[in-house]
Chain A
Amino acid sequence: MRLIPTEEQRELGASVRAFLAETAPMARVRAVAESDEAYDARVWERMAGELGLAGLAIPEAHGGSGAGHGEVAAVMEELGAALTPSPFLASAVLAANVLLAAEQAGDEEAAKDLLPGIAAGTTVATFAVPVKGDPVTRARESDGAYTLTGTVRRVLNGAEADVILVASVLTDEVAEEGLGPLAVFAVDASAAGVARTPLTTLDLTRPQARVELADAPARLVTTSGDALARTLDLSAVALAAGQLGGLRRCLDTIVEYAKLRVQFGRFVGSFQGVKHRLADMHCTLEQAESVVRYAVWAADESPDELPVAAALAQSYLGRAFFQVAKDHLLLHGGIGFTWEHDAHLYYKRAKGDELLLGPPRDHRARLAERLDLIV
């Protein structure tokens, strides 16, 4: 088990940090978040081109650089810390993971066609992560061609993506209301029968859209349940790394502030009411980092441990990031409640992330299942 990043991962993180500081400082993040743009296309182009991030985890055979989940985590941490609006998570992580898992399961066609564009950053893809309780779209086959019908309530970068991967039920395989096995399909977002409506998101830096499908043409990516399960676990791990980055930034920021702000003739950080809260936040950070490193290691090296590690990562990080973000906002005092201050951006990101793959209770239920606690 490896719980400290490699030298290369640290260097990758440092170069992404430097790049983001230069191209996507907070002022720029805010400008993009408050505009109609989902992300800064020029920054994404450079991230994909100069830094090769769009194809980071995609094998060289498909035009990527074949790095591991440790490297993806290093990038996610930096993007999470900087709140950079970017299709990296949707395209280079979520969608790429689905296609790679499908390929591993023997379904190579879609991977072969779609991955090179994703790796180059010229195709932006996304994956509508199925969340418990949401309606599931239905797939119908006729003459070897598929169409999808139904609503996907929330899709990360759904309004901008060129390709949307959707988990759908094959209608001829289930009874009327049954939830049969899910299969993953790829939908061309510009096809007839695809309607996309941007949603009002709490977190302005991570746009989502509702996608309505009415007999929309789709191609089958995989019917492998294992591929889907692995994808969901990998998504949980990558998101957790982003949450860790945000959490650490929140703590760093408020610690610095507590060393500067004076009330009652003292730095506020010298009051135990403040200091002890910061100490508890630091304890949370130490554990959050450990949990993420473990889950990332499991993703790269220990597939058997991944299901528990991934559920653990989301169960821990979702709550942890939000609590730290909340306390970091509160400890700023009134300024933390203003639109101009960045605290609310982290607070909202933390809440958005906590719910992105389903609420904490879903992850805890998954964990209970995997720990064999369900009788």
Chain B
Amino acid sequence: MTDLDEYGRRARAWLEANASDLSPEPDLRTARAFMAKLYDAGYSGITWPAEYGGQGLSAAEERAFQQASRGFTLPIGVFGIGFGMCGPTLVSIGTEEQKRRYVRPLLRGEEIWCQMFSEPGAGSDVASLQTRAVRDGDAWVVNGQKVWTSVAKQADFGLLIARTDVDVPKHRGITMFIVDMHDPGVTVRPLRDMSGESHFNEIFLDDVRIPADRVVGEVNGGWSAAVTTLLHERVSIGMGATRTERPASFGPLAAAARERGTLGDPAVRDQLVELYIRERALDLFNARLAQELKAGIQPGARGSVSKLLLADLMLHGADVATEILGPDSAAHGEGDRQDDLIARTLAMAPGMALGGGTNEIMRNIIGDRVLGLPREPQVDRTVPFRDLKVGTQAKEAGA
């Protein structure tokens, strides 16, 4: 048995003892308590630098842990933004003090993070954001509105990008900040999404004072900081996909077809085969990316491939799942757990193709940065932000 097998075996034993009976979305206290236990057992932040509270191990151990955790439903959803995006951004470009202050509590689930990028007028084109940050003594004063912010309701901190200079082109006048979500100027309002639940929020920022030492990266260097976050986001969304077994995936659906006696139908069988092929192809690509990372090859914008394929797979899987289960997945009674899960999966599926950048934006990124194709003509790269037509600014200016 190799060390890695041994590592995976121990992880599995730990999970069996500690994670056998967890609901995927428990109350916050239970989720935090689980994260603390996970951290104390050495399974949170496996690849993160040891000096800031991580385990300092390689992607191979991370992968071994992920494999061990298959079949378990870990209540880690609420920490996803912190682990996948905010934390890695701080580790990459945060100051020494920031890393020492924020990383360990993040990994232990003591502090939850959110990411405040999108605005009503700035989504795909997030660099056209209008939230303003103005310097006042040793602090910045922030005013504006953010939207679609996942887990903001539960969050203790958030990474914010705001405009700090309107006289330069849009990409050059943005700065990234750490915001204390408990600040009195921060108002969080849950938004109900298409699943009927509230996974994201809108946020109003009114004269929020942020100490100058909470700038992440350079003042007016927020765009490159945001790109760092978004690269991590895509890799993390794409590669995190296989962490838990999805209801609309090959295993449970093949079992359901067998149980319901539809496996003999060649059409059903072929749908299952197609799903298997797509799942394996993406799994294997993610595994290859992880091996390359370990060998020192950075995934860079190829994380977008993973994210795009996952978004497609989730839409496809949910769609095909309803076909395999039939009308019951659209109309079911109280106790029909699988049908209910599939119906909810169908209602959640579009989120992956929108959040973290839409499929069109992923294709732009793959074309531009992976294949090196010529960019589209851009009118907004050289014009000072104050003269630019963006989001709702143009209308307001005219009104």
Q: Which residues between 246 and 293 of chain A lie within 8 Å of chain B, taking CB atoms?
A: 255, 258-259, 266-267, 269-272, 275-276, 278-280, 282-283, 286-291, 293
Interface residue? A147 (CB, 8 A) = no
Is A315 part of the contact surface with B, judged by Cβ < 8 Å? Answer: yes
B367→A278 contact, CB < 8 A: yes
Q: Could you say which residues of chain B place their CB within 8 Å of the CB of A291?
A: 280-281, 284
Within 8 A of A (CB), among B342-366: 360, 362-364, 366
A174 close to B (CB within 8 Å) = no
The stretch that binds B, out of A122-130, A178-186, A363-371, is: A363-371
Interface of A: prevailing SS: helix
**A276 contact from B276, B277, B367, B375, Cβ within 8 A:** B367
Asked if A316 is an interface residue, CB under 8 A from chain B, the answer is yes
Contacting pair A278 B373 (CB below 8 A): yes
Within 8 A of A (CB), among B232-276: 254, 258, 263-264, 269-270, 272-273, 276
CB distance from A347 to the nearest CB of B (A): 21
Q: Please, which residue of chain A has its CB at the minimum distance from the CB of B278? A: A287
Which one of B38-46, B285-293, B327-335 is at the interface? B285-293
Given A4-B291, A368-B269, A375-B264, A286 contacting B285 (CB threshold 8 A): yes
Q: Are A282 and B371 in contact (CB under 8 A)?
A: yes
- Contact (Cβ within 8 A) A255 B373: yes
Docked-complex contact A282 and B366, CB < 8 angstroms: yes
Residues on the B chain within 8 Å of A315, using CB: 273, 277
| A290-B288, A312-B277 known; A283 vs B366 contact (CB < 8 Å) | yes
Task: Decide: B362 and A279 in contact? CB cutoff 8 A.
Answer: yes
Contact (Cβ within 8 A) B367 A275: yes
Choose, from B28-36, B148-156, B301-309, the stretch at the interface. Answer: B301-309
Confirm or deny: A1 has a beta carbon within 8 angstroms of a beta carbon on chain B: yes
Judge whether A286 and B287 touch: CB under 8 Å. Answer: no
Bound-state Cα–Cα, A368 to B368, Å: 38
Contact A269 B367 (CB under 8 A): yes
> Bound complex: CA of A208 vs CA of B27, how far in Å?
66
Is the beta-carbon distance between B285 and A275 smaller than 8 angstroms? no
Whether A112 sits at the interface, judged by CB under 8 Å, is no
Cβ 8 A contact of A367, one of B254, B273, B375: B273
Q: Which residues of A contact B196 (CB under 8 A)?
A: none
User: In the bound complex, how far is the Cα of B63 from the Cα of A2, in angstroms?
Assistant: 13
- The digit string for B355-398, where 1 denotes a CB below 8 A from any CB of A, is 00000101110111011111111000000000000000000000
Least CB distance from A294 to B in Å reads: 5
Q: Is there contact, CB below 8 Å, between A373 and B363? A: no
A41 within 8 A of B: no
Tell whether A3 pairs with B288 under 8 Å between CB atoms, given A276-B360, A283-B305, A283-B366: yes
Which listed residue (A266, A279, A364, A367) contacts B377, Cβ 8 A? Answer: A266
Across-interface contacts of B285 in A (CB, < 8 A): 286-287, 289-290
Q: How many A-B residue pairs have CB under 8 A?
A: 117
The CA of A312 and the CA of B275, in the complex, are separated in Å by 12
Residues from chain B with a CB closer than 8 A to the CB of A312 are: 276-277, 280
Chain B residue at minimal CB-CB distance from A315: B277
Q: How far is the CA of A258 from the CA of B371 in the complex (A)?
A: 10
Quick one: which of A271, A286, A367 contacts B302, CB cutoff 8 A? A286
B179 CB to closest chain A CB (Å) equals 34
> Are B374 and A270 in contact, CB atoms less than 8 angstroms apart?
yes
CA distance A347 to B287 in the complex (A): 30
Asked if B1 is an interface residue, CB under 8 A from chain A, the answer is no
A177 to chain B, nearest CB (A): 25
B282 interfacial by beta-carbon distance below 8 Å: yes
Residues of A within 8 A of B360 (CB): 272, 276
A368 to B308, CA, bound (A): 27
Using known A-B contacts A283-B366, A364-B273, A367-B276, determine if residue A269 contacts B373 with beta carbons closer than 8 Å: yes
Residues in A282-322 with C-beta less than 8 Å from chain B: 282-283, 286-291, 293-294, 312, 315-316
Interface string of A347-375 (1 = CB under 8 A from B): 00000000000000000100110010111
Q: Judging by beta carbons under 8 Å apart, are A283 and B308 in contact?
A: yes
- Cα A316 to Cα B309 with chains together (Å): 15
Q: When the two chains form their complex, are residues A316 and B277 in contact, meaning their CB atoms are under 8 A apart?
A: yes
Complex contacts, B288 vs chain A, CB 8 Å = 3-4, 286, 289-290, 293
- Indicate whether A373 sits within 8 Å of B273 (C-beta atoms), given known contacts A3-B284, A286-B305: yes
Q: Is the CB of B372 within 8 A of A259?
A: yes
A209 to B367, CA, bound (A): 43
Provide the residues of chain B in CB contact with A371, threshold 8 Å.
Answer: 254, 272-273, 276
Q: Please measure, in the bound complex, the distance between the C-alpha atom of A316 and the C-alpha atom of B258, giving whole angstroms.
A: 25
B253: min CB distance to chain A, Å: 11
Please measure, in the bound complex, the distance between the C-alpha atom of A194 and the C-alpha atom of B268, giving whole angstroms. Answer: 45
Contacts of B284 in A (CB 8 A): 3, 287, 290-291, 293-294
Given A266-B374, A290-B287, A373-B263 in contact, is the A272-B364 Cβ separation under 8 Å? yes
- Please give the distance in Å from B344's CB to the nearest CB on chain A: 26
Task: Please give, as numbers and ranges, the residues of chain A lying within 8 Å of B282 by CB-CB distance.
Answer: 287
> When the two chains form their complex, are residues A279 and B269 in contact, meaning their CB atoms are under 8 A apart?
no
On whether the beta carbons of A364 and B270 are closer than 8 Å, the reply is yes
B295 within 8 A of A: yes
The closest CB in chain B to the CB of A267 belongs to B374
Pairwise interchain contact B272-A270, C-beta atoms closer than 8 A: no
Whether the pair B287, A1 counts as a contact (CB closer than 8 A) is: yes
Closest A residue by C-beta to B282: A287
Q: Which residues of A contact B373 (CB under 8 A)?
A: 255, 258-259, 267, 269-270, 275, 278
B178 to chain A, nearest CB (A): 34
Residues of A within 8 A of B281 (CB): 287-288, 290-291, 316
Which single member of A275, A293, A368 contacts B364 (CB below 8 Å)? A275
Q: How far is the CB of A82 from chain B (nearest CB, A)?
A: 22
Q: Are A255 and B371 in contact (CB under 8 A)?
A: yes
Taking the closest CB of chain B, its distance from the CB of A192, in whole angstroms, is 45
Which partner residue on chain B sits nearest A266 by CB separation? B377
Among A2, A267, A286, find the residue whose CB has the most chain B CB atoms closer than 10 A: A286
> Can you name 15 A-B residue pairings with CB atoms under 8 Å?
A1-B287, A4-B288, A267-B374, A269-B374, A270-B376, A275-B363, A282-B371, A286-B302, A287-B285, A290-B284, A315-B273, A364-B270, A368-B272, A371-B276, A373-B269
**Given A3-B288, A287-B282: 16 more A-B contacts, CB < 8 Å:** A4-B288, A255-B373, A259-B374, A267-B373, A279-B362, A279-B371, A283-B309, A286-B305, A289-B285, A290-B287, A291-B280, A291-B284, A312-B277, A368-B273, A371-B273, A373-B263
> Lowest 5 A-B CB distances belong to which pairs?
A275-B367, A290-B284, A279-B366, A287-B281, A269-B373
